[in-house]
Amino acid sequence: MELIIILIEAVKNGILAILDLAVIIFPLMIVIEVLKDLKMLEKLTNLMSPLTNSLKIHKDSSLPLVIGVILGLFLGAGVLVKSVDEGNLDKRSLVIVSIFLALCHAVFEDTVVFVPIGANLLIVLLVRIISAFFVAIVASKFIKEMN
C-alpha cells in the first residue's frame, strides 16, 4: 500500500517537473529561433570563441554550452540533441561539451542553494568552473578525432 502511494507521488512530482520545464522550453526555443533569424547567434558564438577554441571544439558548441551552464543540464542536453540532429556537431565536440556540462551546469541555481549551510558561494562557483575547464582541457588533449 505504502509502495503505491510512493509511486503515485513520484509520478505526480515527475509530471510537475515536466510542466515546470515546459514553461521554460517553449519561450527558450522560440527565443533561440528568433536570435538565429536575426543572425544574433553568431555574436554569441564569437563571444564564446575563447572557450570553444581552447577546447578545440566546433564553434556551434557555443549555444548548448551557454544554455547548459546557465539553465541546466537538461535544457543544455535538449539543445545539444537538436544541434546533433541538425548535423552541426561532430562526435568529438559532443563528448567534450558533455564533459564540461556534466561538471558545470545551472551555475547560479546550483550555487545559491548552498546559502543555508553557510558555504562561500564565490569559492564554490569558481572552483567548479575551473575544475570543469581543467577536466575538459585534459579530455580535449586525449580525445582525438572520432566518428
Partner 1 sequence: MISIDTFKRGLKKGFDVLILLGKIMLPIYVVVELLKYSGLLETISKLFIPFMSLLGLPGEAAFALIIGASVNIYAALGVLVSINLTAKQATIVAIVLSIAHNLIGETVVIKRIGVNPYFITGLRIITAFSVGTIMNLVL
Interface region with partner 1, contact rule CB under 8 A, candidates 14-22, 41-49, 54-62: 14-22
Alpha helices of the chain — where are they, by DSSP H?
A: 2-37, 41-47, 49-54, 62-71, 73-85, 91-103, 107-112, 121-142
Member of 45, 48, 90, 110 binding partner 1 (CB under 8 A): 110
Q: From the CB of residue 34, how many other CB atoms can be counted at a distance below 10 Å?
A: 11
Contact 5, 12 (CB under 8 A): no
CA 24 – CA 129 distance, rounded (Å): 24
Q: Which stretch binds partner 1 (CB under 8 A): 46-54, 55-63, 121-129?
A: 121-129
Report the interface residues with partner 1, using CB under 8 A. 6-7, 9-11, 13-15, 17-18, 21-22, 25-26, 28-34, 36-38, 73-75, 77-82, 84, 94-95, 98-99, 102-104, 110-111, 113-114, 116-121, 123-124, 127-128, 131-132, 135
